[in-house]
Chains A and B, each alone.
Chain A
Amino acid sequence: MAAVADVASAAPIRVEVTRKIFPAAGGRDAQLVLQDVAFEVEPRSFLVMTGPSGCGKSTLLNIIAGLDTDYDGTIDLGPGKDRLTYIFQSPRLLPWRTIAENIALVLPEGDPRHANIPEMLERVGLTEAATAYPERVSLGMQRRAALARGFILEPEILLMDEPFVSLDDPTAQSLRQLLMDLWHRQPTTVIFITHDRSEAVQLGTRILRLAPGQASVVQDAQVNLTNAQRLDRAAVLAEQTRIFATA
């Protein structure tokens, strides 16, 4: 991983959520979702949050993203807060705009980065699909377009919520490699959610495991893999066994 820290992004992201409650609605009681979750994310690290479904991972990510402001606690995103990108679980492309238009839309008019769009499309393998509408291409291609849309902004903070879920294995694997490739070119602080342990180990430099029920951190582990080892299934599996056996 690239470790060229500049002064602007040297400060870590600080997350502290003391309490998050879903209010009672539609016959369901109020529900305590998060309690006393606190951690820091080093600049340009790749943090993976993992845990069973319904443990509050996505809620936590929405809070970090600023989409959910109804919680007790503080989030300090540091100087990178204005360059934050969120890649959602579903691609969330505008179906009535072509793939290239969807990517161009997030850049202001006249932004010099418009010139980078063809190269970005090339990198994610969507050059030929650039003028297609999202619903006319496969889910894997839509996810690649969502990645390209996020990366064209050259974000300092990148939040990702299971962006490769419900894809067949080769497609998911190719997208993971694409993500690693893009992350090496544009070092970014990443917070990535998954419940796939192998994916967690392959991508992350650090893994946070959240407990079921009201999410709290139960394990905080560094991933000790070189970039080459991350492409080696056996090495990934060994590291996965080491990390996940300890809890």
Chain B
Amino acid sequence: MAPVSTQTSSTRGPASAGLGWFPALERLGWVVASLASLALLWQVVAMTAADPRLFPGPAAVFGTMSGLAQSGALWSNISVTLERLVYAFSAAMMIGSVIGILLGTFPKADKFFDPWLILFLNLPAIVTITLCLIWGGMNQAAIVTAVALNKIPNTAVTMREGTRGLSRDLNEMAEIYKLGWWKTLRHVTLPQLAPFFAAAARAGLALIWKIVLVVEAFGGNGRGVGYQIFIAFQEFDVATILAYALAFIIIVQIIETAIMQPMLARVNRWRR
């Protein structure tokens, strides 16, 4: 028989293959132009400021940053903060995912625990932070817990949504074709949860890196970017505040570009 060759549409390959590095370069050009304009605007405003100590220009801030870098303070404080960020982020993603998947799977548990979740979602960050530090003391575990607690409820809600949306059709398919629990988990369930996990991770990074600085300001115990900013605040040392802020923004943006975006692109590569 012949009509098997009646293809009603052709397959589409990945888009924009063959354009090479040129669009990437153009995108970079826009970013550079945009940031340069911002720096220029900043310089102009700084020159009109009454007290340059309270509103230093970009040159002063980068000078401070380079001084901090040479003394080793910049990197040592950033690495302390990054370590806390990694612990808190990992804990929040793991614990939040487990809670969310369980609530999404068992409707009775969801009904029971939903009010708890709403309570924790609406608990102001400043409250969880102060309570953690009062109860746990000014130590690493209390700091990491305080940061993670602020993200766990969001992760749980996102993952619960993803779990509720798991396709019954595909589960039946897995059952009929006897895929077994491992193949079902790996090929059917996790790929459906991956976009939710990626979204939670991305939003989590954005939230956690801000929270971690606040926690460090309260209980940094002499170390960490947040604590340095807190000290600089007491001395009205705006150049140091901005130097740490800028350095940390650069680090977080590198994480976003090098890890988060490729991860999102990967979990979505099959979409049309």
The residues of A with any CB-CB pair to B shorter than 8 Å are 65, 67, 84-86, 88, 90, 92, 94-97, 105-106, 123-125, 128-129, 132-133, 135-141, 144, 149, 153, 168, 170-171, 173-174, 177-178, 181
Task: For the complex, give the distance between the alpha carbons of A141 and B169 in Å.
Answer: 19
Among B4, B176, B188, B270, the residue within 8 A (CB) of A124 is B4
Given contacts A65-B176, A137-B9, A173-B3, contact A105 B183 (CB under 8 A): yes
Chain B residues with CB below 8 A from A65, complex form: 176
Chain B residues with CB below 8 A from A133, complex form: 270, 272
Give chain A nearest CB distance to B18 CB in angstroms.
18
Given contacts A96-B270, A136-B272, contact A67 B3 (CB under 8 A): no
Task: For the complex, give the distance between the alpha carbons of A38 and B264 in Å.
Answer: 52
Does the CB pair A86–B176 fall under 8 Å?
yes
Interface range, B side: 20 to 34
Residue of B nearest to A177 (CB): B1
Chain A residues with CB below 8 A from B7, complex form: 125, 129, 138, 140-141
The residues of B with any CB-CB pair to A shorter than 8 Å are 1, 3-9, 11-12, 169-170, 172-173, 175-177, 179, 183, 187-188, 191, 270-272
Residue of A nearest to B195 (CB): A96
Task: For the complex, give the distance between the alpha carbons of A67 and B172 in Å.
Answer: 7
Chain B residues with CB below 8 A from A171, complex form: 6, 8
Among A94, A105, A178, the residue within 8 A (CB) of B4 is A178
Among A90, A138, A149, the residue within 8 A (CB) of B9 is A138
Query: Beyond the given A67-B172, A96-B191, could you list 12 further A-B residue pairs with CB under 8 A, ordered by the A residue number?
Result: A65-B176, A92-B169, A92-B173, A95-B271, A97-B187, A97-B270, A105-B177, A106-B177, A125-B4, A136-B12, A137-B11, A140-B6
Chain A residues with CB below 8 A from B191, complex form: 94, 96
Among B5, B6, B12, the residue within 8 A (CB) of A170 is B6
Task: For the complex, give the distance between the alpha carbons of A141 and B272 in Å.
Answer: 15
Does the CB pair A177–B3 fall under 8 Å?
yes
Chain B residues with CB below 8 A from A123, complex form: 4
Chain B residues with CB below 8 A from A168, complex form: 8
Chain A residues with CB below 8 A from B11, complex form: 128-129, 132, 136-137
Task: For the complex, give the distance between the alpha carbons of A140 and B270 in Å.
Answer: 19
Give chain B nearest CB distance to A5 CB in angstroms.
25
Closest 6 A-B residue pairs measured CB to CB? A174-B3, A125-B4, A132-B11, A138-B9, A133-B270, A106-B177
Task: For the complex, give the distance between the alpha carbons of A90 and B135 in Å.
Answer: 56
Does the CB pair B1–A178 fall under 8 Å?
yes
Chain B residues with CB below 8 A from A86, complex form: 172, 176
Does the CB pair A140–B8 fall under 8 Å?
yes
